[in-house]
């Protein structure tokens, strides 16, 4: 298994290097970050030239790339056009976004795989039709619509019934937090529940459909009929033979959808007013702040590659033929 992991790490490193150059090239050529400054006739040319030197805009594209890479490996990602270091702000916002992404991913896997298995085992039943209908409804609904509906119809009613705010609809934490760990954890949870549910509802349907389709395909295979004929218990046939083989393509889809989850997180954070990586990216795009946009994209690319590495390891565990290939 170790040689297999090393090979995947090497491939991931090459992909990250190529992605870093492509992303840098696209973002650098997307616009002039000093366009507003140059449009102001009261700004002396000497001031503009000084800002260009500070941002290395007077260098060639390859020299700027090398400077940016050196800052990226130091973890500070350079300075924004406003002059503040990008790295410390990015790392702080990443922790907030991961609360949403990790929670939504875990719930989506649980609901997607679980409902897919149940639908396949009870094909054409009321449960199957209900799960299919719900999956298509949530899959076809934009994430911001789901978030708004949950705020209006779920959060308001739950809070009124409880007589206090249990589900927060704005912000990632309260303005004034008590110093105790328990109070902070409770506050973070109350602010995170609704955004996590929102992102989960638009993520799990596709995984559920994939899981159902794979379960139906595997459970009708010849080797499953052979396993049943040999007298294996239904539970053993389901867990060791049907589910394990049906999970292989589903795990691949989950890994590939990691980038889509981060994209959905940007919209979800905007709906619920979270000051996290989504707001960080949107501000950078509006201001054509190259280092800010690059920092977000590269960090997201690194996380996606890490998720796909994890998927490859799980893939190798599920199918021994892969890790020995």
pLDDT of residue 320: 66
Structure tokens at 37: 């400054």
Structure tokens at 135: 């999956």
State the Cα torsion 166-167-173-179 to the nearest 10°: 20
Q: Categorize the per-residue pLDDT at 220 as very low, low, confident or very high, splitting at 50, 70 and 90.
A: confident
Structure confidence by residue, pLDDT tens digits, 243-296 = 888 888 888 888 878 777 888 888 899 999 998 888 888 888 887 788 888 888
Share of the chain above pLDDT 90, in %: 22
Rounded to an integer, what is the distance from CA 254 to the centroid of its chain?
A: 11
pLDDT digits (tens, 9 = 90+) for 157-197: 888 888 888 888 888 888 766 677 788 888 888 899 999 99
Which of 118, 274, 277, 297 is closest to 204 using CA atoms?
118
> What confidence score (pLDDT) does residue 290 get?
81
Measured torsion, CA atoms of residues 195, 306, 106, 77, in degrees rounded to the nearest 10: -20
Please report which confidence band the pLDDT of residue 321 belongs to, taking 50, 70 and 90 as the band edges: low
Neighbours of 171 (CB within 10 A): 12
∠ CA 47-48-52 to the nearest 5 degrees? 120
| Superfamily name with CATH number, domain 2-14+93-323 | MetI-like (1.10.3720.10)
Find the length of the chain: 325
What pLDDT, on the 0 to 100 scale, is given for residue 19? 81
Asked if residue 92 lies in contact with residue 189, where contact means CB atoms within 8 angstroms, the answer is no
Tens of pLDDT, residues 25-77: 887 777 777 777 777 778 888 888 887 887 777 788 888 888 888 888 887 78
Task: Specify the pLDDT at position 116.
Answer: 93
79: β partners: 85
Domain ranges of the chain: 2-14+93-323
Question: What are the residues whose beta carbons fall under 8 Å from the beta carbon of 244, sequence distance 6 or more?
Answer: 318
pTM, two decimal places: 0.83
């Amino acid at each position: 298994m170790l040689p297999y992991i090393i090979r995947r790490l090497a491939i991931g490193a090459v992909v990250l290097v190529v992605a870093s150059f492509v992303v840098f090239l696209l973002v650098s050529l997307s616009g002039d970050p000093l366009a507003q400054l140059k449009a102001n006739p009261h700004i002396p040319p000497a001031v503009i030239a000084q800002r260009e030197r500070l941002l290395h805009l007077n260098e060639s594209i390859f020299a700027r790339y090398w400077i940016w890479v050196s800052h990226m490996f130091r973890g500070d990602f350079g300075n924004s056009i406003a002059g503040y270091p990008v790295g410390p702000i990015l790392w702080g916002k990443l922790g907030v976004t991961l609360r949403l992404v990790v929670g939504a991913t875990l719930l989506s896997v649980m609901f997607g795989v679980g409902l897919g298995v149940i639908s396949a085992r009870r094909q054409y039943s009321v449960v199957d039709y209900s799960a299919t209908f719900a999956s298509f409804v949530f899959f076809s609904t934009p994430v911001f619509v789901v978030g708004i509906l949950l705020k209006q119809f779920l959060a308001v009613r739950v809070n009124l019934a409880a007589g206090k705010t249990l589900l927060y609809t704005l912000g990632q934490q309260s303005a004034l937090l008590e110093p105790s760990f328990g109070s902070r954890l409770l506050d973070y949870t109350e602010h995170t529940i609704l955004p996590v549910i929102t992102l989960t509802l638009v993520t799990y349907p596709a995984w559920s459909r994939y899981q159902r389709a794979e379960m139906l395909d595997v459970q009708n295979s010849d080797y499953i009929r052979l396993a049943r004929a040999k007298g294996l218990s239904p539970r053993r046939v389901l867990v060791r033979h049907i589910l394990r083989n049906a999970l292989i393509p589903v795990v691949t889809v989950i890994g590939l959808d990691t980038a889509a989850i981060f994209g959905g997180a940007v919209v979800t954070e905007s709906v619920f007013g979270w000051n996290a990586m989504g707001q960080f990216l949107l501000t950078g795009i509006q201001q054509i702040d190259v280092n800010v946009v690059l920092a977000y994209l590269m960090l997201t690319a690194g996380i996606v590659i890490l998720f796909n590495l994890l998927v490859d390891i799980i893939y190798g565990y599920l199918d021994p033929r892969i890790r020995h290939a």
